[in-house]
Amino acid sequence: MLTDPLFWNGIIRIALGLTVIIVVHRSTTVNADEGLLFHLLALAIMLGGIP
């Protein structure tokens, strides 16, 4: 499992997605619509929709 590149790819995707969400939440200049967009983008990254 630890030698499976797909496993690590998934871990990296989840980490990237969570990082995007955390950064957006920390930013006070993002309005609600942009926040939703960033959340959808992060979900797409986590689910592998964006390579």
pLDDT in tens, 14-46: 888 888 878 877 776 767 777 788 778 888 877
Q: For residues 8 and 49, which has the higher predicted lDDT (pLDDT)? A: 8
pLDDT value of residue 50: 57
Residue 51 has pLDDT above 70, yes or no: no
pTM recorded for the entire structure? 0.55
Spatial contact of 42 and 18, defined as CB atoms under 8 Å apart = yes
Domain boundaries, the chain: 17-51
Using CA atoms, how far residue 45 sits from 24, 27, 28, 41, 42, in Å, is 15, 20, 23, 6, 5
- In the structure encoding, which two tokens stand for residue 1, read together? 């499992």
DSSP assignments along the chain, one per residue: -TT-HHHHHHHHHHHHHHHHHHHHHH-SS--HHHHHHHHHHHHHHHHTS--
